[in-house]
């Protein structure tokens, strides 16, 4: 099975004592069946239930589907949580009890706040099933602050161009949540800012 992440290096070698001691927990993702489709789940694990507010971290794919096939995560409920979905390849059709009906494609972002309760489903769109298709993306589940646990459920979709872009020395990154260097991107709890293109600060 493919690893959750891979960090290439030009000169592989064994880490020194200092580097080894700096590793608190080694997390190996496990396969989880979500109803006919497996994801690689890095959180929670027996040794680490959460990292900060992040309680679930799922990698969907890379997966290839034949014509007529796809993902069918049927309607199911959640409370007290928020989800961030970001795709690198393929598409998802999100529907939920707030009335949201949204197809997410690569580079875009879906934010769903379950709050006091929401039911949602995620499926491969009908258009994608008309031929072979692929899927690769991540979904991160966040525990809401206690004072937001009973908020009304909500959903927001942000296209690729709405997400801040950070670039420096030929490297470009897109911020999907939180703050990094001088860029920031909000969420349903604090309000979303418009997408911007920024350079990294000189000192970093």
Q: Percent helix, strand and coil across the chain, each rounded to 5?
A: 5, 45, 45
- The pLDDT tens digits of the residues spanning 44-78 come to 888 888 888 888 899 998 989 999 999 999 999 99
Domains of the chain: 26-160 (2.60.120.10), 163-204 (no CATH)
- The pLDDT tens digits of the residues spanning 180-192 come to 776 656 544 443 3
Tokens linked to 181 = 């260097």
Render 61-78 in DSSP notation, one character per residue. EEEEE-TT---EEEEEEE
pTM over 0.85: no
Neighbour order of strands in the sheet with 72-78: 72-78, 118-123, 92-96, 101-104
């Amino acid at each position: 099975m493919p690893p959750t992440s891979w960090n290439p290096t030009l000169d592989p070698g064994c880490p020194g004592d200092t580097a080894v001691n700096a590793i608190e927990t080694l997390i190996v993702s496990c396969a989880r069946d979500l109803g006919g489709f497996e994801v690689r789940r890095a959180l929670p694990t027996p040794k680490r239930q959460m990292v900060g507010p992040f309680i679930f971290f799922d990698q969907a794919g890379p997966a290839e589907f034949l014509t007529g096939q796809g993902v069918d995560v049927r309607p199911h409920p959640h409370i007290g949580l928020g989800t961030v979905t970001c795709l690198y390849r393929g598409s998802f059709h999100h529907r939920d009890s707030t009335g949201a009906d949204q197809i997410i494609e690569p580079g875009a972002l879906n934010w769903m706040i379950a709050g006091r309760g929401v039911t949602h489903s995620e499926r491969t769109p009908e258009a994608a099933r008309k031929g072979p298709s692929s899927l690769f993306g991540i979904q991160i589940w966040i525990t809401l602050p206690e004072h937001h646990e009973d908020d009304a459920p909500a959903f927001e979709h942000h296209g690729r161009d709405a997400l801040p872009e950070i670039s420096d020395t030929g490297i470009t990154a897109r911020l999907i949540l939180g703050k990094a260097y001088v860029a920031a991107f909000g969420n349903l709890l604090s309000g979303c800012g418009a997408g911007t293109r920024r350079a990294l600060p000189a000192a970093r």
